[in-house]
Structure 1
Amino acid sequence: MTDLAPHELRVLVAVAHGRSFSAAAAALGMTQSAVSHSVRGSERKLGAVLFDRDRRGARPTAAGERAVAHARRVLRLLEVMRAEVRGAERGAAAGALRIAAFRSAALHLLPGALERLAARHPEIVPEVRIVREVGPGTAGEVLDGRADVGIATIGTTSPVPPQLIGGVLLEEGYALVHPAGHPSPRTLPLVDWDENCTSYTREWWQRQEWLPSATVRTEDDGAVLSLVSRGFGMAVMPELSLIGAPDGIEITDLGPARPSRSVGYVTTPEQAKSIAVRALIRELRVPAATRSEGSRLR
């Protein structure tokens, strides 16, 4: 038998989170020996070692990472089932909705959608985490069971993982951003941030002889805009990041051949059927007039 009971799944998640059997025992109100016994039982049922144990604690193996991710997702589905059953009695959707989003989407795409969601489903409680769209990014949060839905960049360089489903919400083009009034902005140093570079259309980037290598790299797009507004360089940025751009910045269209990226949602096939996730996706698909606010294309 490979079936694991919910309490066994909770033990796996707690050990992975606390990185030790003792921390998991304290979090769950169990003895350390009971936690150890539960983990050994799960490993026996699954036929794999799930944690490397040493004096420093317990770290998930590759098999353990997969098991813990599935455990989080199964436990979350049990919570969703309970919330939807209780909501059905009242004729309303209820409960937490965990959302992972990258910074500019959280600032400019989510607020309007959440406002409409609250008006239609006041008992849904959004929990938003801002996640850098590098490495696993927001899709990784969904895969690991830490989020029900992610707002992600989708494209050939960042396809929807095969275990998830998703859809495009909008296409955002890139523009040249530079200090206002500069006579020759393309001669300025390039300011960039790590999250941005993974989303460029590589072929377009390589064809632009006027674009130098970045001399300044920052943690987020807000810092890029601040540096550009003070005259420290130019940048090539997507539209969502340019909403509400600070004074001192000019935004120049890069023409019809400009690069673009797709922004969409990702979720699990199971969560895609939940009332809360379906309701959020419906609101995200509503065109938002605020997306074009703050744009000052020349």
Structure 2
Amino acid sequence: MADLTPHELRILLAVESAGSFSGAAVALDMTQSAVSHAIRASERRIGAVLFERGRKGATPTPAGASALGYARRVLRLLELMGAEARAAAAGPGSAAPAGVLRIAAFRSAALHLLPPALERLRTRHPGIEPVVRVVRELGRGTAGEVLDGRADLGIATIGTSAPVPDELVGGVLREEEYALVYPAGHPAPRTLPLLDWAENCTSYTRDWWAAQDWIPRATVEAEDDGAVLSMVSAGLGMAIMPGLSLHGAPDAVGITALGPERPTRAVGYVTTPELARSPAVRALIRELRVSGG
């Protein structure tokens, strides 16, 4: 099977982005027939249909979604190859990390773990341009963004029950405890209604959660942890929340430890083995370790 060229990979991504062959043709300044021909040729070489064609345009098949992820990662590595080769050619004194660094993080990590790390990164490596996307830590979460080539590094919840995917490498930045959160001054917070959000009760807390007979079924499930904290401060119920979500909690919120058997979660980073050798990614990991410690 002949390899696809970078140009053919860009055509695949353009069709996905535009949602149609005609839209990709406009974006790439090509004819629609040339785009169609290139996609058919790519499909023949790969041996799978990559896009479903229909009246509403072109939608990636499961095989196409997989191919698109690899396409993004390959094109990103080609970008880095050129940038790092030029830096090496300029000599050791000119090899400071530089360029765009794409980061995916869930909300509380983006709010509280990333900013100090990025501040130090900017001071030490002003040539690096961080681009941060906030991604819900559901399903494939931030690790999926890295696997799909949309991020160079993801800040993720990882551990024995949410391991680093086989294709990625990573490490733990911090282990944080869950705590009981309630309206400050309430005499019996465990009797209050439970407030929750979809990202919270995942596999690393589910067994502990199920063993607690005092925790009722949630009466409210909010969009994110910030909304839960706001509702707790308004006196609407209690919640069980991890440490990062409680940074800057208002005075109207009481926080109590859950005891020695309390659940914890590991917050870490994930990246590809190739990108882990990138100077910019290595520099960010160093700063994240300082923030997470």
SS at match of 1:83: helix
TM-score, length basis structure 2: 0.96
- Among candidates 258, 264, 280, match of residue 260 of structure 1: 264
8 Å contact kept, 2:113–2:291: no
d(CA) in 1 for partners of 2:2, 2:124? 41
What do residues 27-52 of structure 1 show as CA deviations (whole Å, max 9, x unaligned)? 11111111111111111111111111
Deviates more, 1:77-86 or 1:113-122: 77-86
| Residue 91 (structure 1) shift | 2.3
What do residues 208-246 of structure 1 show as CA deviations (whole Å, max 9, x unaligned)? 110001000100111001000010000000000001002
d(CA) in 2 for partners of 1:14, 1:92? 32
Q: In the alignment, which residue of structure 2 is the partner of 1:292?
A: none
Q: In the alignment, which residue of structure 1 is the partner of 2:195?
A: 191
8 Å contact kept, 1:11–1:38: yes
Q: In the alignment, which residue of structure 1 is the partner of 2:61?
A: 61
| Residue 86 (structure 1) shift | 3.0
TM-score, length basis structure 1: 0.94
| Residue 200 (structure 1) shift | 4.4
8 Å contact kept, 1:175–1:237: yes
8 Å contact kept, 1:169–1:264: yes
**Residues 123-134 of structure 1 aligned to structure 2 (within 5 Å):** 123-134=127-138
Q: In the alignment, which residue of structure 1 is the partner of 2:228?
A: 224
Partner AA of 1:207 in structure 2: A
Q: In the alignment, which residue of structure 1 is the partner of 2:284?
A: 280
Deviates more, 1:200-209 or 1:107-116: 200-209
RMSD value over aligned CA atoms? 1.2
d(CA) in 2 for partners of 1:134, 1:15? 26
Partner AA of 2:52 in structure 1: D
| Residue 248 (structure 1) shift | 0.4
**Residues 177-216 of structure 1 aligned to structure 2 (within 5 Å):** 177-198=181-202, 200-216=204-220
Partner AA of 1:233 in structure 2: G
Partner AA of 2:191 in structure 1: T
Deviates more, 1:24-33 or 1:83-92: 83-92
Partner AA of 2:62 in structure 1: A
Deviates more, 1:214-223 or 1:196-205: 196-205
Q: Does 1:109 align with 2:113?
A: yes
**Residues 17-28 of structure 1 aligned to structure 2 (within 5 Å):** 17-28=17-28
What do residues 70-108 of structure 1 show as CA deviations (whole Å, max 9, x unaligned)? 001001111112222233322211100000000000011
Q: In the alignment, which residue of structure 2 is the partner of 1:70?
A: 70
d(CA) in 2 for partners of 1:25, 1:218? 41
What do residues 234-281 of structure 1 show as CA deviations (whole Å, max 9, x unaligned)? 000000000100220010011111100000011111111111111111
Q: In the alignment, which residue of structure 2 is the partner of 1:85?
A: 85
Q: Does 1:149 align with 2:175?
A: no
d(CA) in 2 for partners of 1:249, 1:274? 42
d(CA) in 1 for partners of 2:35, 2:45? 15
Q: Which runs of 5+ in 1 are unaligned?
A: 290-298
8 Å contact kept, 2:99–2:128: yes
Q: Which runs of 5+ in 2 are unaligned?
A: none
What do residues 158-215 of structure 1 show as CA deviations (whole Å, max 9, x unaligned)? 2211111111111010000000000000000000000112254222111111000100
Q: In the alignment, which residue of structure 1 is the partner of 2:30?
A: 30
SS at match of 1:196: coil
